[in-house]
Amino acid sequence: MGSAEFNTLSGLFVAAVEQYSKPDAFLFKAAGKYQGLASAEAMRQVAALAQGLERLGLQRGDRVAILSENRLEWALTDYAALGLGAIDVPIYPTLLEPDIEYILRDSGAKGAVVSTETQLQKVLKVRRRLPELGFILSMDQVDFAGSGAQHWHDVVKDELDRFADPVSTFRTKALEVRPEETATLLYTSGTTGEPKGVILTHANIVSNVQACRNIFAFVPEDIGFSILPLSHVFERMLDYFYFSRGVSIAYPESPDAMPQNLLEVRPTVMAVVPRVLERIHERVMEAVRQAAAARQKMFHWTVKVCQRRLPYLLGKRTPPLALRLQHA
């Protein structure tokens, strides 16, 4: 399979890592600032995690749940599971124990990967009624005493200590996955009854990724901001698309921190829904109302200049000199 060719999500990951060698394939907030994870290191961690999951009993065709907000470990867990030929089961972190228990049981999940202590406690409360759930990993370091859960990062580190280079084995397995194999089970909200699991194959999702590649001309210099839930297929498919084009993918710290994170990351592309834009607008306008009169006047003048310039940008026309000077 050439570096630019793929027909599975696991193949997409391998192809993108080999085609784009970047110091910031992923961007995440740590120690108070955004840091980059290089493509090669992402591959090492994914390969190590895949070995760890396999050691915990996850096999090809098995299901593993991901109960987490958008964050780096979500994506790495996803690629590790897919590379094994396993099936991941995303669960919205806003769900409560009854729905989580139902999804874990209905999907037959062999394990669960959770983000925080809050999410861990949800799974621990229902675990005794789920005999098939063999392991739990937590992305955050929490008190694991008596829980039987393990730290996600410890599993990765242990595997890297055992095998200095797990990449070759992982690459072979990842490229053995077939397009018709199931990639994920997505559960509906359950508003009209019990949640229903929707089966999507690698081919299903890759077809959408390829369609995006034919339409959007993003480049490795772009930065995508992953803010819609990865538990929903829309953001997830877009993140696959971003990665396939070498676009860096950044994750917000939290919904409340998103405005500040936007200033820090300065993404060139992100997918949103109307409510997200409304919330951003509300916060901006509240800050304007609290600003001094001179700053309010400057803000409204700037908005008008941008509104006059927008039609030229959309029409790919050069704005008049006076407008260009105002916008400078």
What is the pLDDT at residue 280?
Answer: 83
Q: What is the mean pLDDT of the chain?
A: 94
Q: Is residue 4 part of a domain?
A: no
Mean pLDDT over 182-188 rounds to 95
Q: Is residue 3 part of a domain?
A: no
Is 255 a residue whose pLDDT tops 90? Answer: no
Is 170 a residue whose pLDDT tops 60? Answer: yes
Q: Is residue 244 part of a domain?
A: yes
> What is the tally of structural domains in the chain?
2
Residue 1 binned pLDDT confidence (cut-offs 50, 70, 90): very low
Output the six-digit token pair for 270. 């992100």
Q: Which of 113, 97, 99 is nearest to 63 (CA)?
A: 113
Regarding whether 256 and 148 lie in a shared domain, the answer is yes
Mean pLDDT over 59-83 rounds to 98
Residue 4 binned pLDDT confidence (cut-offs 50, 70, 90): low
**In percent, how much of the chain has pLDDT > 70?**
98
Regarding whether 257 and 233 lie in a shared domain, the answer is yes
Q: Is residue 120 part of a domain?
A: yes
Quote the domain boundaries for residue 109. Answer: 9-270
CA distance linking residue 279 with residue 298, whole number of Å: 22
Backbone angles phi, psi at 228, to 5 degrees: -75, 155
What is the pLDDT at residue 314?
Answer: 87
* Domain of residue 217, CATH code: 3.40.50.12780
* C-alpha torsion angle, residues 103, 243, 261, 283 (rounded to 10): -70
C-alpha neighbours within 13 Å on the C-beta side of residue 168 = 3
78 alpha-carbon distance from chain centroid? 9
Regarding whether 253 and 282 lie in a shared domain, the answer is no
Regarding whether 184 and 160 lie in a shared domain, the answer is yes
Regarding whether 278 and 165 lie in a shared domain, the answer is no
Q: Is residue 149 part of a domain?
A: yes
CB 42 within 8 A of CB 80: no
Regarding whether 286 and 144 lie in a shared domain, the answer is no
Q: Is residue 2 part of a domain?
A: no
Regarding whether 283 and 150 lie in a shared domain, the answer is no
Task: Provide the residue count of the chain.
Answer: 328
Q: Is residue 125 part of a domain?
A: yes
What is the Cα gyration radius of the chain? 22
